Amino acid sequence: MKIAIAGAGAIGCFLGSRLALSGRAEVSALARGETLAALRQNGFRLQTKEGSFSAPVAASDDASELGVQDVLIIAVKGPALPLLAPALRPLIGAQTVILPTMNGVPWWFCLVDGALGKVAPFALKSVDPHGTINECIPLQQTLGCVVHVGASCPEPGVVRHAMGLELIIGEACGGNSARMEAVTDVLTQAGLEIKPSANIRYDIWYKLWGNLTMNPVSAITGATIDRLLADPLVRSFCTTAMHEAALIGEQIGCHVTQQPEDRHVITAKLGAFKTSMLQDVEAGRRLELDSIVGAAHEMGRHLGLKTPYIDAILGLTRLFAMTHGLYTEVRRT
């Protein structure tokens, strides 16, 4: 199976190295700059508790050199995808399966016919401002994915795996399929724990339901998870925002029955954990704000729901990020 990784950051390198080491896939990577040079010289380099491993990869900054793939794994940061999407076209054939392994709500989340109950499908301009992603990446070939893996890149082309091996995978339009089973099989052979989902939209929304508060609030305060949840005022603020998000979920076919306090108990088990958004702040990387908070804000407005706490999180985090050069507001069409 030919599998290309678009975006050789922590998750991209982790999945690519696992797949290459399994011997079940011919793995290539679309990368640039220092990461491209490192992959060409050393291949993937994976650091785990069990030891360090390396695996070969065909790396290029030109998708046409890599050609049409059986599977395309998209592992870039959300803000990068609208610009990258046109460059991915040479990797996508009529049978290519596309697997985005990205944080937050994907561009197709509100475009699936019949999935939103009484709500007609609509495009998320916060995620795909000009419709470029939807134009370049066919929805009918796309799987949904939720990643439960902790990994980091101490240097280009090197990934350090900290915890988790689980990927939840499902058809964007729901149900099961032969192609989903094929992707599940090759990822399982690579040592990953794959959980098939008949309703991947719910799984995506459930993860966002927690990340919507913990990620941005940690980013603007610099606090780890344990400190956020130990502060009663912050905890209450996050709880109210989660209630707002739950109301949005009910309107779009993603009804969350769990209560925020119960989710806090689960989250607290992470201890002094730095969220991905806090790590991005510390590394000076652009924040994935639009696909996590911006999308929820946009959905609330589209549905006519009042979301003052979500709005406050978006406004404060956006202003913080813009002040520190970590966010550029995009003009929506």
| Catalytic machinery residues | 207
Distance set, CA 212 to CA 5, 167, 196 (Å): 27, 20, 24
Q: How far apart are CA 42 and CA 70, in angstroms?
A: 25
Distance set, CA 50 to CA 14, 53, 144, 147, 309 (Å): 14, 9, 30, 21, 43
Strands 51-55 and 44-48: antiparallel
Angle 232-251/308-323 helices, nearest 10 degrees?
110
CA geometry: angle at 113 spanning 111 and 118, to 5°? 100
- Contact predicate 264/270, CB 8 Å: no
List the one residue out of 163, 167, 165 whose CA is nearest residue 180.
Answer: 167
**Tokens representing residue 160 in the block:** 């350090």
